[in-house]
Structure 1
Amino acid sequence: MRRTYKNSDNVMVLNDLRIEHDGESAQIDHLIVYTYGFIVVESKSIRGEVKVNEYGEWTRSYKGQWSGMPSPIKQAELQFKLLKQYLCDNTEKVIGKFLGMQQGMGMRCYDVFCAISSDAIIDRSAAPRDIADKLVKSEFITDALDKKMNFIKFFNLAAKIADTRPTFNQDELQHICQFLLGNTQQCQNYSVNEKPAAWPAPTPMTATPETTSFAPVEPAEQRVSPTISAVAKPSDAVAAQCKHCGNCSTLSPQSGRYGYYVQCGKCGGNTPLKRPCPECNSQNTKVSKLKSVFRLNCAECSTITKLNLNSR
């Protein structure tokens, strides 16, 4: 999935995503967020043979011994039920309004797949059709996803007119992913695929040499020159603050695909360090790091603002 969708503007992949809502929680192996909706992919590493009978019941063999196993499809469907409820209950936080009307989440496409190890033997001959179609070997998963997402070619005007599926634009896709990743504390080992179909992965920061500063990878439309003007103007320090709980004192710096951010030690939420310039309010900024000091560099007015991560 990383290789297939890393250059896609319409598909984002979130791995090992944790959702908490209404006293329930779900750990989703892979969530595809795309123009028309969402797809949960439950991955199973299984050696040997897997059978699904006409009742949708699963059995597997291990060293010649057969035993029953929980249905990964049912597991994915329960995860999706919680995810859909979570999104629908937070619609106003996830997507905005169109022509003054609040858009909905309920009519989007919601689907599930189970990806089984490529070296497993799958017997789906007796399985119900709706289950058999969702059971895919891992090397064919992107083919199944492409077929399900069904992106219509730009030149097929008739098909586009007949397609009534509500859509997310690119900004909404980004905001949905940010909402899902930022509102629940994630496991430290989750990862996401490369930009632009990506979102920050909470990997620990590593020290950089004194003579260099790390320039975060950014989309082409946000990329600015890595060189700071010689007439750059210093500005007063700005305190970083958790956007979820307002905490300022226990923020842990992290780095991801889209640059630097902080993880709150109080609520566990993630907050990007990139922000508008405090001098000219330009969005054309980037964050750099030299030793333990973080700076916000503005490409419009050349202001350099120190970011204070532990203000009390």
Structure 2
Amino acid sequence: MLCKKPDDKQAAVAVLENLLARAGSNKKAAIERELHIMRAGIKGEREAAYLIDFHLKDSRKTAVLHDLRLQLDDGRVAQIDHLLIHQTYRFYVLETKHFSHGVKITDEGEFLRWNDWKKTYEGMPSPIEQNERHVLVLKKALAMMGLPEPAVESMILVAPQARIDRSKKFNSSMVIKADQFLTAYQKNLDSANVLSMISGLVRTTFSESLVDISRKLLRMHRPILVDYEAKFGMRQDHALPLPALEQGPISIEFGNTPAVTAVAPVSEPASTAVALSVETTVHACKKCRSAKLSIQYGKFGYYFKCSDCDANAPAKVACGKDGHRERLRKDGKRFYRECQDCASSSLYFVNQD
């Protein structure tokens, strides 16, 4: 069953195209590279998502979540391209890589990408190591939800037409062409079932919990915010904002179970920021009414501090629903108000200093 579709990244592409159109010669190359990487990533993820959904979107035994970004309180982040949850409580963390001209894996497990322009191999971060970090974050997130530690498989999906030069010494069996994924997935499940029966550790099925687990993970989904104007040093104080782009609802369905809908965040209405929904409240000092505020952290939590009169005031948030506990989350200079029970997250305040 399909629980989460891939996030729509066209807003980010449009932002970069807008920057490229007005960039000087000293910035064009960097923005073009960013656009190239983003488009290649979108293409690879879209192709893999299509193949996964073709076989599993109507499955009663597997939940599918695309583009799941988990962020822990300690700052660790997992950007999971595709997550599969099988009814036997086995998780599959899939990382997609789009290699235009193939990849080489050395005896030491190093990944080398072919540069067709330079006609040579270039080093790149290991997607295996990257995915292992994602697995650690996922396990921690599940533990925070009160769930037992699951069996997790890590797989790297590459385009069907990509060439893979494998080492005979390094085990790269987890690197799979996307069109061969279902065979590898089923083979892994079959092997796991045989081992479970031999060891007498057959798990009770978790089919009734697939929707619940998916819903809880969706509540922890934190789409990334990238301020491309700041990244490329092209801030415009008076630029007209692009219209906000709203992503459609995320629905969770299992068999005949009624759909559970979690509304996805709305993009920030700023010319070059891809963000969550935006808090429209204008904050002002309660003592002098100045807008020169910043959020600080003290003994009793977050509070507003006025730079004009030096007054302090608590920064309190509440979604207004009984039993719900909304909190503030800091990300650099940005603060978000979030309620796990409502599965909501919105930009609350940005420190200017």
TM interval, short-chain normalised: 0.5 to 0.7
Counterpart of 2:68 in structure 1 is 17
Counterpart of 1:38 in structure 2 is 91
- What is the CA–CA distance in structure 2 between the aligned matches of 1:192 and 1:39, rounded to whole Å? 20
Structure 1: tracts of 5 or more residues without a match: 95-104, 206-238, 248-264, 273-312
- What is the CA–CA distance in structure 2 between the aligned matches of 1:270 and 1:81, rounded to whole Å? 24
Whether 1:50 and 2:103 are equivalent positions in the alignment is yes
AA partner of residue 220 (structure 2): N
- 1:267 counterpart (332, 338, 349): 338
AA partner of residue 50 (structure 1): V
Residues 159 and 53 of structure 1: CA distance in aligned 2, closer, same or farther (over 3 Å): closer
Counterpart of 2:189 in structure 1 is 149
Counterpart of 2:254 in structure 1 is 196
**Number of corresponding residues:** 204
With the length of structure 2 as denominator, give the TM-score of the two structures: 0.49
- 2:206 counterpart (169, 172, 188): 169
Q: After superposition, what is the alpha-carbon deviation per residue over 1:180-225, rounded to whole angstroms, capped at 9, x for unaligned?
A: 11134346879979843897574589xxxxxxxxxxxxxxxxxxxx
- 2:153 counterpart (96, 108, 111): 111
RMSD of aligned Cα (Å): 3.7
User: How far has the Cα of 1:179 moved from its partner?
Assistant: 0.9
Whether 1:133 and 2:149 are equivalent positions in the alignment is no
- What is the CA–CA distance in structure 2 between the aligned matches of 1:172 and 1:2, rounded to whole Å? 20
Q: Write out the 4+ residue segments of structure 1 that deviate beyond 6 Å after TM superposition.
A: 188-194
Counterpart of 1:225 in structure 2 is none
AA partner of residue 172 (structure 1): S
User: How far has the Cα of 1:52 moved from its partner?
Assistant: 0.6
Q: After superposition, what is the alpha-carbon deviation per residue over 1:51-80, rounded to whole angstroms, capped at 9, x for unaligned?
A: 111111110102122101111111000110
Residues 161 and 127 of structure 1: CA distance in aligned 2, closer, same or farther (over 3 Å): closer
- 2:166 counterpart (106, 114, 124): 124
Counterpart of 1:80 in structure 2 is 135
AA partner of residue 114 (structure 1): I
- What is the CA–CA distance in structure 2 between the aligned matches of 1:59 and 1:32, rounded to whole Å? 28
Residues 16 and 191 of structure 1: CA distance in aligned 2, closer, same or farther (over 3 Å): farther
- What is the CA–CA distance in structure 2 between the aligned matches of 1:160 and 1:37, rounded to whole Å? 15
Q: After superposition, what is the alpha-carbon deviation per residue over 1:134-166, rounded to whole angstroms, capped at 9, x for unaligned?
A: 01011111211111122899xx9x985865243
> Contact 1:242–1:271 at 8 Å: present in 2 too?
no
With the length of structure 1 as denominator, give the TM-score of the two structures: 0.55
Structure 2: tracts of 5 or more residues without a match: 1-51, 225-245, 267-318, 328-335, 344-353
Residues 243 and 169 of structure 1: CA distance in aligned 2, closer, same or farther (over 3 Å): farther
Structure 2 counterpart SS, 1:179? helix
User: How far has the Cα of 1:45 moved from its partner?
Assistant: 1.0
Residues 27 and 183 of structure 1: CA distance in aligned 2, closer, same or farther (over 3 Å): same
User: How far has the Cα of 1:25 moved from its partner?
Assistant: 1.4
Residues 77 and 167 of structure 1: CA distance in aligned 2, closer, same or farther (over 3 Å): farther
> Contact 2:71–2:222 at 8 Å: present in 1 too?
no
- 1:245 counterpart (325, 332, 340): 325
Counterpart of 1:27 in structure 2 is 79
- 2:215 counterpart (178, 189, 208): 178
- What is the CA–CA distance in structure 1 between the aligned matches of 2:139 and 2:199, rounded to whole Å? 26
Residues 202 and 192 of structure 1: CA distance in aligned 2, closer, same or farther (over 3 Å): closer
Structure 1 counterpart SS, 2:181? helix
AA partner of residue 214 (structure 2): C
> Contact 1:12–1:193 at 8 Å: present in 2 too?
no
Q: After superposition, what is the alpha-carbon deviation per residue over 1:262-302, rounded to whole angstroms, capped at 9, x for unaligned?
A: xxx83165748xxxxxxxxxxxxxxxxxxxxxxxxxxxxxx
User: How far has the Cα of 1:7 moved from its partner?
Assistant: 2.3
Q: How does 1:64-103 map to 2 (within 5 A)?
A: 64-91=119-146, 94=147
Higher helix share: 2
Residues 41 and 152 of structure 1: CA distance in aligned 2, closer, same or farther (over 3 Å): closer
